[in-house]
Structure 1
């Protein structure tokens, strides 16, 4: 089970939605927190349906600025407890073990002068009673100078204000995997800057509850921010296989290999009683051949995508 956190930059464009769909398909998250959706609830409902998630709570953007959303699967009972333009807090109850903990999706103010208000809000969001707490999102701030490369360094007081709020809340960074930086300005030469401003932080209670939790920084695609994949447990490669209903894809008509499989099934001379049995046999041979071919195509396509994502991550 995992959680996806991503500053997607704009969900009105279908391209980020396609990237998000791939993320959800690959990581199978129970919870998805999105920042800078730059859209309203109606559009988010459409995105929720395309992702095949069950619940959605969205805070509308103001014009083309901001906008956050929390989406989830029904396997977790998610209860929204409070929200603003800059955060969504929810109680999460897991059906499997009945554990309840708090999730806060956070968005630090993009304007430096107003960021102190963000830290005041963060302090107010601390659970009033001891409870496992995961706080993740785009904080728009770093905790150390080493979390930034390029151009001018961050003012010390700016960093210190953020660190004090984190310390007050009893939070610490979740064990991180993948890239060191989560955002870049995509410029070249001396103007190029990269920072670690997206993060997942947890309190002592959450760490004790999920001692093997990790946060993996994924490659940034169609956004200047990298998605975060938060896992409560070590990855389990043993996924349950589900039965797939066979459907012929119209796009297969464009593939020569597909046509050869269909022709081969038509010419099959193995009969089992003739008549209707012969037709059923040929259809079954055709179905099996197409499914095997399609599976190989999917594996190769996924391999190509992963290689390109690795290249993007390296760049």
Structure 2
């Protein structure tokens, strides 16, 4: 699925139509959303034909501003649910995933008081079925000062309404690729740039389309960038990265595996023996996890199904039923611990019932950490994995490469020594066992200290 959303500020200009036609030809979107159209819907018929779209729905502008229009193709199954002055709500059917989801095309008011009313109205619509929703368009507001360049600093109070709308509906920002701002005032004096256009989703929608990308497409002759949303991205499967799960340490099978692998005799230096044992143990744990199906989410669903069957059974056993309930409580706790580790959150406890919060934190962290592309020293953009690797290696190789300055010895001789002989002896002394134990005990339990995937709890527990 590809969607274009653009505040075109009127669709009659030649450059506006040319830009739209070019992006339509390049990306072949399934849906096109135009905001602030400033034109009556009867003027859209020719545009629908040029876009090769079969359907359209428009909200008429009021006065000289406003207006929204949505075009979609014949093969996109759409139901019009609702429309208001600032938004169009559509319900779409995904045949591949066999489910519905809702799309809200937004053009929020520039007036703060009106926006406050619009957020309340939109929240009511989302609340009716907030499982799978995408809210896309021009919100005419920012979420933080990083989305604002130039002009006055925004206080937290001025962003409270928009932030409250996002938090109150448990929405995620899909982020973006490309230029960080979507609007500029095009003034030479006191230029201002802001990210006014967003793609916000519920967690259920993100679960359906986890690879969704939004690109900011800067267009000539327009002070608004176009949003190009794509739910699909080809990704090469490299296998699942190993990460030690702190819950494993509580099982006898895991402890026996660790003891067994550590008893194996391997020749070589101490560092080599440690490396080989960790590598072998990692393989053994992955195999053990696979064979024993330690997925707590599946266990929760399985236990729920068993409890439903037990309630409907004629041969009801009170003790067996209570045991399944105890197992379900334990499985829920395991699921919460799992998502806490994934979220890297350090200030909530394991027994806090915040699985949904941890899940949201994990999704947010993954989106922030994912490198979709990189710019090299020549200003060229690369998205292929091989090119990203080569660009990163070239950057750090140059950064840490000596420029071979001349007369370096003369310069060093004139630098005053800051480290005393006594300090140097302490710094160069062999590392003691007590220092190693102290360092290991200070590693946060849910953090992985290196690429081996073993978190702090592994070294502290074993």
Query: Which blocks of at least 5 consecutive residues in structure 1 are unaligned?
Result: 237-309, 311-315
Provide the residue aligned with 2:228 in structure 1: 229
**1:13 equivalent in alignment to 2:8:** no
Provide the residue aligned with 1:219 in structure 2: 218
Deviation at 1:13, TM superposition (A): 1.9
Relative to structure 1, the CA distance from residue 193 to residue 72 in structure 2 (aligned partners, 3 Å threshold; closer, same or farther) is: same
Deviation at 1:120, TM superposition (A): 1.2
Deviation at 1:169, TM superposition (A): 1.3
Q: Judging by fraction of residues, say which structure has more strand.
A: 1
Deviation at 1:117, TM superposition (A): 1.3
Deviation at 1:50, TM superposition (A): 1.1
Provide the residue aligned with 2:313 in structure 1: none
Q: Secondary structure, in 3 states, of the residue corresponding to 1:57?
A: strand
Asked whether the 8 Å contact 1:143–1:163 carries over to 2, the reply is yes
Provide the residue aligned with 2:46 in structure 1: 46
Query: Which blocks of at least 5 consecutive residues in structure 2 are unaligned?
Result: 236-380, 382-462
Deviation at 1:18, TM superposition (A): 1.4
Deviation at 1:5, TM superposition (A): 0.6
Deviation at 1:86, TM superposition (A): 0.2
Q: Scaled by the length of structure 2, what TM-score is found?
A: 0.49
The residue correspondences of 1:77-226 to structure 2 (distance < 5 A) are 77-189=77-189, 191-226=190-225
Provide the residue aligned with 1:74 in structure 2: 74
Asked whether the 8 Å contact 1:88–1:104 carries over to 2, the reply is yes
Q: Distance in 1 between matches of 2:223 and 2:232?
A: 28
Q: Judging by fraction of residues, say which structure has more helix.
A: 2
Report the number of matched residues: 236
Relative to structure 1, the CA distance from residue 233 to residue 153 in structure 2 (aligned partners, 3 Å threshold; closer, same or farther) is: same
What does the per-residue CA deviation read over 1:171-224, in whole Å, with 9 as the maximum and x for residues that have no partner?
A: 1111421111110001114x1000001010111001100111111111133321
Q: Distance in 2 between matches of 1:235 and 1:39?
A: 38
Deviation at 1:110, TM superposition (A): 1.3
Asked whether the 8 Å contact 2:19–2:219 carries over to 1, the reply is no
Q: Which has the higher contact order (CA 8 A, sep 6+)?
A: 1
Give the number of the structure whose alpha-carbon radius of gyration is greater.
2
Provide the residue aligned with 1:249 in structure 2: none
Asked whether the 8 Å contact 1:76–1:95 carries over to 2, the reply is no
Q: Distance in 2 between matches of 1:31 and 1:127?
A: 24
Asked whether the 8 Å contact 1:142–1:195 carries over to 2, the reply is yes
CA-atom RMSD in angstroms:
1.7
Relative to structure 1, the CA distance from residue 235 to residue 222 in structure 2 (aligned partners, 3 Å threshold; closer, same or farther) is: farther
